[in-house]
Structure 1
């Protein structure tokens, strides 16, 4: 029987997908996924439905849904799909639960009942998940103008206790907990919160005294312990030993996350660590997707400073809406290219390739296309031959001035092997600087970042849902930011994984996920613990 899994703070299901994919779904089975956000929950529900079928027996109606580019029609197709397979849908509906952990609407008694019902008395199971990490985020802390100390009144700082409470109440054999790198340096009242979390995870009874909670050994997945105490508890020299650099494990992304592996103290098997893999570059995994152009939205025409009631001056910006068309885009980009290539330093640059075939226009929620290529290093992971195309591959609409910056940045990167900083934009033309009061302050010197083709991408975060400036495509002929599917490839989601909701929500889901291919490798370690100690 597959090993049961409970997935907390599940997001769109990255951790769960990795575990569910191990040994073609025969090693682990998700019994309950808990997520508060509506669109993430719908993505989880659809993916759970997909997993109820053997790989070669997924109904054709599922692929018809994926191939539908119209979101409203896709919603109707999903309802029809679920009606056609009521048994599988009922399981998916029961597995994917929209619930806010730690909120008043779902007290611990209700959550405990759902978990008990899902486990059906099974004592040996796995808890996975990542408590919300915005409070620990290095970027978020910088914006809130403190470097280390967190606001102890921020409830998100303490949401890990919901994860801890479920450990204390339900005693999983193994747990896997993920969080951001900033957790290692975060402090509350001058005390490192990571030390406190590690102490609590080792002994949940410290916090939840009335439960008969077992103790846990907490391991790194990348570093062997420096020593053990007399009870076999591992100890490490540095908190950074718990950091996983995803690019070292075949993920085409420089994503650095803290992942803790807890093993119940009655289990004597010690886990192995992850085996490093050859680096995978960005172009290797997204270069075989259909080329598309950016879309046009509006153009900036001017601004003025206007005082408000308190006398503080504010900038009011004015824009003109544009009609998007392949012809207008080609005309605009061609003009930008000629202008940039007249700049000193670019005059010797080879001509930019002609704009892409307008048949693909600005992309779509589905494009018929033969991808991934057999040369893609993760072809077997991404590919589903029945899909016959690419979903969630539609470009954003961009401000024309941003398109010029994107084109300049990608040409600069092509020439110098790195993306330009803000002072370099100013050097090549003041009009390349954004209309932003901090443009030349140095605070956002990397505001426009081209993703380098011959390296793993930088970390895909939920901020990709905002504007795409940190995720500019390396190909100047496409002149755009990355699509949802490109971000999903970087995060190692299979191509048949459909992200629900409008595009902004899709981006947000992808950015918040754990790379499934990394989770798959962790699943192998966890399965070995069960095989050696519990399944003999």
Structure 2
């Protein structure tokens, strides 16, 4: 029996990492809302990949500000079918620990703290059966102006939707769903209050983890090496946005999911680096767990002129572990994402960062390389999203069946 093409709206869509998981499970995109033009271009390119017509893409991707007056009226003119689920999450910079640490007032005056209100406005306008709201771990503790944002979100969502308010349930790690990266995110799933066919807690309990535990403390996570070491080797400054490569067989289960058998690799070009950084990268990636201060042992001349500021800014992504959280800051410099292969002596390409985020190789990131890095760093990992999509489908099927009987 064919799957029902449940219809979704994606808010704060970015490049479409969350929606990619829903595409992969056969959902139908009605609408993507995103303010960044390069990300919107990526969304259009991806919809084309999934066979949407030019007319459908034109209506479905709106590059606009969610806070703009009259937005809902314009959305109504583009959305012609009932909405089954709304997905998305506001920009996370105002809630992230890094953002708060770097802001003079701890991001308390940042207007992005309250973009969840616009998400709720759209949610309460369309009243879909279910929703997913995604954000960083810092959402749980953010207190701009002395009030916990999380408590406000729970209170407002609970007026029309059943949700779980326990942070221990809501905080999920992408590595548990086949993503080669430690990435904790708050995932709030809601079901409309008039739908009482199941307990919302059951939804969380039924989300399958894709990795079997070796023991209770050592999950069998996908590693950086498994994710990226099959990609073409590059020296700094080499590579291209589109390049033809030899087709090779995937050597592990993760590569079976993400590899592109067309022989085309997208967004795999390396930054240029100065000689000092190249030598730093080469030495650090040759020694397990070394940091910049460890260069004092072999090359004191490479200790940075500002060790207090740069001491922990040079980090090798170790090949035998899952990656550290990919962040949008990657567009400024890649020193937190040094390639584990010392021969290459460079930082990650966009494609390597995308692999760590579990994007498939045929996913094309549009815009400049800076734009592409931002899109990858801000995205929800598609493999994690696909796990949610499959789980939610089971409950949408229940709702559909019960509604039909009633």
TM over 0.5: yes
**Is 1:292 paired with 2:257?**
no
Unaligned 5+ runs, structure 1: 54-87, 204-214, 220-234, 296-361
Q: In the alignment, what sits opposite 2:373?
A: 507
CA–CA distance in structure 1, aligned partners of residues 161 and 96 of structure 2? 26
Q: TM (normalized to structure 2)?
A: 0.90
Q: Secondary structure at the match of 1:398?
A: coil
Given the alignment, which residue of 256, 265, 272 partners 1:390?
Answer: 265
Call closer, same or farther: CA 1:42–1:446 in 2, change over 3 Å: same
Residue 425 of structure 1: how far off its partner (Å): 2.4
Q: TM (normalized to structure 1)?
A: 0.69
**Is 1:253 paired with 2:129?**
no
Residue 140 of structure 1: how far off its partner (Å): 1.0
Cα deviations across residues 217-269 of structure 1 (Å, max 9, x unaligned)? 113xxxxxxxxxxxxxxx53xx2431111111110001111111011011122
Assess if the C-alpha contact under 8 Å between 1:49 and 1:91 holds in 2: no
Q: In the alignment, what sits opposite 1:164?
A: 120
Q: Secondary structure at the match of 1:175?
A: strand
Q: In the alignment, what sits opposite 2:50?
A: 51
CA–CA distance in structure 2, aligned partners of residues 119 and 41 of structure 1? 17
4+ residue runs over 6 A deviation: none
Call closer, same or farther: CA 1:179–1:434 in 2, change over 3 Å: same
Cα deviations across residues 384-405 of structure 1 (Å, max 9, x unaligned)? 43x2121111100112111111
CA–CA distance in structure 2, aligned partners of residues 140 and 177 of structure 1? 20
Q: In the alignment, what sits opposite 1:38?
A: 37
Given the alignment, which residue of 170, 179, 182 partners 2:138?
Answer: 182
Q: How does 1:311-390 map to 2 (within 5 A)?
A: 362-370=238-246, 373-385=249-261, 387-390=262-265
Given the alignment, which residue of 275, 278, 294 partners 2:208?
Answer: 275
Q: Secondary structure at the match of 1:189?
A: helix
Q: Secondary structure at the match of 2:87?
A: strand
**Is 1:426 paired with 2:296?**
yes
Given the alignment, which residue of 8, 12, 21 partners 2:11?
Answer: 8
Residue 535 of structure 1: how far off its partner (Å): 4.1
CA–CA distance in structure 2, aligned partners of residues 126 and 264 of structure 1? 10
Residue 431 of structure 1: how far off its partner (Å): 1.3
- How many residues are paired up? 385
Residue 118 of structure 1: how far off its partner (Å): 4.1
CA–CA distance in structure 2, aligned partners of residues 398 and 284 of structure 1? 25
Call closer, same or farther: CA 1:396–1:116 in 2, change over 3 Å: same
CA–CA distance in structure 2, aligned partners of residues 425 and 186 of structure 1? 37
**Is 1:451 paired with 2:317?**
yes
Assess if the C-alpha contact under 8 Å between 1:150 and 1:187 holds in 2: no
- What RMSD in Å do the two structures reach over aligned CA positions? 1.8
CA–CA distance in structure 2, aligned partners of residues 397 and 162 of structure 1? 41
Residue 185 of structure 1: how far off its partner (Å): 1.5
Unaligned 5+ runs, structure 2: 212-220
Call closer, same or farther: CA 1:380–1:427 in 2, change over 3 Å: closer
Q: In the alignment, what sits opposite 2:399?
A: 533
**Greater gyration radius:** 1
Residue 534 of structure 1: how far off its partner (Å): 2.2
Cα deviations across residues 339-384 of structure 1 (Å, max 9, x unaligned)? xxxxxxxxxxxxxxxxxxxxxxx11222322456321322332134
Assess if the C-alpha contact under 8 Å between 1:293 and 1:480 holds in 2: yes
Q: In the alignment, what sits opposite 2:75?
A: 115
Residue 145 of structure 1: how far off its partner (Å): 5.0
Call closer, same or farther: CA 1:376–1:21 in 2, change over 3 Å: same
Given the alignment, which residue of 130, 154, 172 partners 2:89?
Answer: 130
Assess if the C-alpha contact under 8 Å between 1:135 and 1:150 holds in 2: yes
Assess if the C-alpha contact under 8 Å between 2:241 and 2:269 holds in 1: yes
Q: In the alignment, what sits opposite 2:98?
A: 139
Assess if the C-alpha contact under 8 Å between 1:366 and 1:389 holds in 2: yes
Call closer, same or farther: CA 1:267–1:291 in 2, change over 3 Å: same
